[in-house]
A and B are shown apart, each in its own frame.
Chain A
Amino acid sequence: MSTIFFLIQQTMFFTIPLMVVALGGMFSERSGVINIALEGIMIMGGFFSILFINVMQGTLSGQLLLILAIIVATISGAAFSMLHAYAAINMKADQTISGTALNMLAPALSIFMARMIQPSGVQQIQFTNTFRIEKVPVFGDIPVIGEMFFQNTYITTYLGVAILIISAIVLFKTKFGLRLRACGEHPQAADAVGVSVYKMRYSGVAISGMLAGIGGLIFVVTTSTNFNANVAGYGFLALAVLIFGQWNPYRIAGAALFFGFMKTISATYSSIPLLYNLPITGYFYKMIPYIATLIVLVFSSKKSQSPKAAGIPYDQGAR
C-alpha cells in the first residue's frame, strides 16, 4: 500500500508543472499564437522567483514566502512572454522563430544575470526548501485519500488543480473564453463582430506567460534545491502534453497525468521490487514515458483538434 501512496505522490510532482504549463500553452494557441517559448518562459519565471526566495529566505520562510514567489514567477513569466506577443502579433513575425529566440535567450540571460548579481559569481541559485507540507490539517487524516493527496505535498499541487478548474471555466463558460477561441479559429469573423483580435491574442499569450512562469517555479521547488538556468526540457514536454491533450483542458490534465505516471515509473522503478526484478535495463525504463506517449498518439491522432488559425499572424486586410 505504501508503494502506491508513494507512486501517487511522485506522480503529482511530475504532473502538476507539466499540466500548468500546458494549460498556459493552451490559452496562447487557442487565441491563435503558437507558443514554443514555454521552455524559455519557465526558465525566466523560475529564475526570478528562485532569486526572490534566495534573497528573502533570511526574513521569510514557509508558505508565505512560496506564495510571494509564485506572484513573482507570474509577473516575470508574463513580462517575458510579452516579447513573444509583440513579435507574433504586432510584427507579424514567424512565431516559431521568435519562440526559438526566447528559448535561447532565457537560459543565457539567467546565467548572465545570476553571475552578475550573486556575490559568489556562480550561475546556480541556492535555496532552502521550507515549503514541503508533511500533512495537511484535517484532510491529511482522512484514511486512504488523506495519505494519497494530503501528505508529503506542496500548496502548488492544489494551486495546479485550481488552475485546471479555473482554466476550463474561463475557456468554455465565459465571454472571454468564447472570444479567445474565436480568435484562434476564425479571427476575421471575430473582428467582424467587434472583438479586438490583437487584444485577445495579447491576453492569450500573457496568460500562457503567467502559467509557464508558475510552472517553472513549481518544477524547481518540488524537484531540486537550486536553480541552474534550466527546467530539464519540461517546456518542450508541456508542448507535447498540450498537443497530446488536443488543446482541451481536461484532456491536457489526462495527458499530463499519463505522462507524469510514466515518468514516475521510470524514475522509481528501482524501488519497486516487482519492476526491478524484471530482466529489463534501466535505460528502457527511462525511455518508457516517451515511447508510451508515441504509441498512444498513434491511436489518438487521426483527427487533430488544433485551433485553425494558430500560427497565422492576423492581418485585418486579409479575407
Chain B
Amino acid sequence: MKKKFSLPDFTNAAGPISSIVAILVGLLSGIIILLISNPARALDGFLWIIAGSLMSPKDIGNVLYYATPIIMTGLSVAFAFRTSLFNIGASGQFIMGAYGAVLVGVKLQSLGSFHWIVALLTSIVFGALWALIPGILKAYFNVNEVISFIMTNYIGMYLVNSMVRSTVYHKLTNRSLPVAESANIPKIGFDKIFPGSSVNGGIVIAILISILIYILLNKTTFGFELKACGFNNDASRYAGINAKKNIVISLLIAGALAGMGGGLLYLAGSGKYIYVEDIIAPEGFTGISVALLGMSHPIGTLFAGLFVAYITVGGSYMQLSGFVPEIIDIITAIIIYFAAFSLIIRNVLYKLKTRNAGDKS
C-alpha cells in the first residue's frame, strides 16, 4: 500500500486547538474594536495588549500576581464542573476565605513564622464551609445548586461586611485592618527577580494545587468516582458510588479552592483590604471564565488564568493610548463565547480524521 500524506491525529488535541482558535478570534475582534474607536492609534493599542505585560520584569511579576487568585477560583469552578455542578458561588467562598485569612492575619500575631500558614489554612476552611451549605442542600434536599450559590454569594457578602465591621474594622477608610507582616506569604526571592511587582510565593502554591487537582481527578479512584457521578448519576449509583457524599465532598473541595484564592490574594502583602461595600467579589465570576477557557481541565485552567492576567495587565497599559480598559473585557467575553463552539471544531477535526482513514482503506 502506498503511503499517503495524512494529517496528524488532532482529535485528542481538539480542546486546546479550539481554545487557541477562540483566542485568535477574540484578538481579531479586539483589533476591529480598536479600529472603530480610534483608527489612528489602533496599532498602538493592540501592541499594548499583546506586549504590554512583557515589557519589564515588574509587569511579568504582576501578571503572576493577578493570575494567582483567578487560577484558584478557576480551579474551584472547574472542579465542580467535573461533577456536573455549576459553582456560580465562587465569589461567596472567595470572600469568606479572604475574611478568614484577614481575621487570623490581624488577630493571631503571636504565631511567628507559622502565621501565614495558619491564616491560609483558615481561608481554606472558611471557603470550604461556605460551600458546604449549598452542598448539603443539593445532596439531601435537592435544592438546585445554581440558586443556592447565588443566594450564598449575597449572604456571604453581607456576612463578611458585618463581620469585618465587628472584628477587624478600620473606620476611617471603611475597610479591614492591615494584616501583620508575618501573615504575608513569603516572597521566596520573587521580589528580586521581579522588582516592583506584587508577586509572591502564592503563584507557586497555585501551580502546585493545579497539579495536585489534576492528579486527584485523573489518577485516583476518588477522582474517577467524582467524574462518574458527573457523567451519569444513575449509572454511578448502580455501581455503588455514594452520589450524595460525592456531591458534598466535591463542593467542599471547590469551596476550599475558592477560599484559598481569597487567602492568597489578601495575604499577598500588596496592600489589599476588604472594603465594606455592597459589591460581590468579581474574582468568582472571572473564575468561571477562566475555568471555561481552560475547558475545566486543571492544567488548562492554570494556563487560562495566566492568559487572562496577561491580557488584563496589557489592557491596563492600553489606557495610555487613550483606549477604554473595558475593551479587554469585551475581548475576553468574545474569546469565551467562541470557546463555547469547541464542539463544532472537534467535529471538523473528527471529519478530517475519518476522511483520512477512508482514504487509506
Q: A: which residues have CB within 8 A of B?
A: 36, 83, 87, 91-94, 96-98, 100-105, 107-109, 111-112, 115-116, 233, 236-237, 239-240, 243-244, 281, 283-284, 286-287, 290-291, 293-294, 297-298, 301-304, 306, 313
In the bound complex, do residue A100 and residue B289 qualify as a contact, i.e. CB atoms below 8 Å apart? yes
Q: Which residues of A contact B142 (CB under 8 A)?
A: 301-304
Q: Mark B284-328, 1 if CB is under 8 A from A, else 0.
A: 010011001000000000000000000000000000000010110
Within 8 A of A (CB), among B327-344: 327, 329-330, 332-334, 336-337, 339-344
Whether B151 is near chain A, meaning CB under 8 Å from some CB there, is: yes
| Complex Cα spacing A92 to B344, Å | 8
Min Cβ gap B115→A in Å is 29
Within 8 A of A (CB), among B136-155: 137, 141-144, 146-148, 150-152, 154-155
List 11 extra interface pairs beyond A104-B333, A108-B329, CB under 8 A. A36-B146, A94-B343, A96-B292, A101-B340, A105-B330, A108-B327, A237-B150, A240-B151, A287-B158, A294-B151, A303-B142
In the bound complex, do residue B329 and residue A297 qualify as a contact, i.e. CB atoms below 8 Å apart? no
Which chain A residue shows the least CB distance to B280?
A233
In the bound complex, do residue A98 and residue B148 qualify as a contact, i.e. CB atoms below 8 Å apart? no
A290 with B154: in contact, given A93-B341, A93-B343 (CB under 8 Å)? yes
User: Which of A100, A239, A240, A281 interacts with B292 by CB under 8 Å?
Assistant: A100
| Complex Cα spacing A91 to B292, Å | 16
| Complex Cα spacing A13 to B114, Å | 52
User: Which of B37, B141, B341 interacts with A298 by CB under 8 Å?
Assistant: B141
| Complex Cα spacing A128 to B280, Å | 29
User: Which of B151, B326, B343 interacts with A290 by CB under 8 Å?
Assistant: B151
A239 with B147: in contact, given A97-B336, A101-B340, A104-B333 (CB under 8 Å)? yes
| Complex Cα spacing A283 to B151, Å | 15
Q: Report whether over half of chain B's contact residues are helix, strand or loop; otherwise say mixed.
A: helix
Whether B162 is near chain A, meaning CB under 8 Å from some CB there, is: yes
Which residue among A36, A102, A284, A294 has the maximum number of chain B CB atoms within 10 Å of its CB?
A294
User: Which of A93, A105, A237, A281 interacts with B340 by CB under 8 Å?
Assistant: A93
Q: Which residues of B contact A302 (CB under 8 A)?
A: 141-142
In the bound complex, do residue B148 and residue A91 qualify as a contact, i.e. CB atoms below 8 Å apart? no
Whether B161 is near chain A, meaning CB under 8 Å from some CB there, is: yes
In the bound complex, do residue B324 and residue A287 qualify as a contact, i.e. CB atoms below 8 Å apart? no
Q: Mark B109-120, 1 if CB is under 8 A from A, else 0.
A: 000000000000
In the bound complex, do residue A92 and residue B155 qualify as a contact, i.e. CB atoms below 8 Å apart? no
In the bound complex, do residue A301 and residue B159 qualify as a contact, i.e. CB atoms below 8 Å apart? no
A98 with B330: in contact, given A243-B144, A243-B146 (CB under 8 Å)? no
In the bound complex, do residue B143 and residue A297 qualify as a contact, i.e. CB atoms below 8 Å apart? yes
In the bound complex, do residue A112 and residue B326 qualify as a contact, i.e. CB atoms below 8 Å apart? yes
The 6 A-B pairs with the shortest beta carbon distances in the complex, nearest first, are A108-B329, A283-B162, A93-B340, A105-B333, A101-B337, A97-B340
Q: Which residues of A contact B336 (CB under 8 A)?
A: 97, 100-101, 104
Whether B86 is near chain A, meaning CB under 8 Å from some CB there, is: yes
A100 with B288: in contact, given A93-B341, A108-B333, A286-B158 (CB under 8 Å)? yes
14 A-B pairs within 8 Å (CB atoms) are namely A91-B341, A102-B337, A104-B329, A104-B336, A108-B326, A108-B330, A115-B324, A116-B324, A239-B146, A283-B161, A287-B154, A298-B143, A302-B142, A303-B142
Which chain B residue shows the least CB distance to A93?
B340
Min Cβ gap B192→A in Å is 36
A236 with B158: in contact, given A102-B337, A107-B329, A304-B144 (CB under 8 Å)? no
A244 with B147: in contact, given A96-B86, A101-B333, A112-B330 (CB under 8 Å)? yes
User: Which of A236, A286, A301, A304 interacts with B150 by CB under 8 Å?
Assistant: A236
Q: Which residues of B contact A83 (CB under 8 A)?
A: 337
In the bound complex, do residue B147 and residue A87 qualify as a contact, i.e. CB atoms below 8 Å apart? no
| Complex Cα spacing A100 to B337, Å | 8
| Complex Cα spacing A181 to B88, Å | 27
Which chain A residue shows the least CB distance to B331?
A108
Q: Which residues of A contact B158 (CB under 8 A)?
A: 283, 286-287
In the bound complex, do residue B141 and residue A243 qualify as a contact, i.e. CB atoms below 8 Å apart? no
Which residue among B288, B326, B329, B337 has the maximum number of chain A CB atoms within 10 Å of its CB?
B337
In the bound complex, do residue A290 and residue B324 qualify as a contact, i.e. CB atoms below 8 Å apart? no
| Complex Cα spacing A112 to B29, Å | 14
A111 with B324: in contact, given A92-B344, A243-B144, A302-B142 (CB under 8 Å)? yes
User: Which of A109, A239, A306 interacts with B330 by CB under 8 Å?
Assistant: A109
Min Cβ gap B174→A in Å is 14
In the bound complex, do residue A104 and residue B162 qualify as a contact, i.e. CB atoms below 8 Å apart? no
Min Cβ gap A33→B in Å is 13
User: Which of B162, B289, B339 interacts with A281 by CB under 8 Å?
Assistant: B162
In the bound complex, do residue B337 and residue A87 qualify as a contact, i.e. CB atoms below 8 Å apart? yes
A240 with B147: in contact, given A98-B340, A287-B159, A298-B141 (CB under 8 Å)? yes
| Complex Cα spacing A93 to B33, Å | 25
In the bound complex, do residue B344 and residue A91 qualify as a contact, i.e. CB atoms below 8 Å apart? yes
| Complex Cα spacing A301 to B340, Å | 30
Which residue among B144, B155, B332, B340 has the maximum number of chain A CB atoms within 10 Å of its CB?
B340
